[in-house]
Amino acid sequence: MLVFKRKLHEKIDIGDAEVTVIAACDVWFKLGIEAPKDAVVNRREVTERIAAKQEKAVLPAARAVA
């Protein structure tokens, strides 16, 4: 894991995406992300929820083939 220390309004480039620290508090911070329109940008819990739904959709189809 690569760890960065950034101050308010400082940026990090990840590929074609630019991440900016917009606000910071004791236990949270806000990030602004500018990325190409075709880039998929999600919070981790959203990505996990999507993967779980896709897995549920695939399991019945796999059982029908077996």
Q: What is the pLDDT of residues 12-66, one digit of tens each?
A: 999 999 999 999 988 899 999 999 999 999 999 999 999 999 888 876 655 665 5
Q: What is the pLDDT of residues 3-14, one digit of tens each?
A: 999 999 999 999
What pLDDT shows up at residue 46? 96
19 has which bridge partners? 12, 33
DSSP assignment of 21-63 equals EEEE-SS-EEEEEE--TTS----HHHHHHHHHHHHHHHHHHHH
Q: List the domain boundaries for the chain.
A: 11-65
What pLDDT shows up at residue 55? 85
Task: For residue 31, give the 3-state DSSP assignment.
Answer: strand
What pLDDT shows up at residue 20? 97
What pLDDT shows up at residue 5? 92
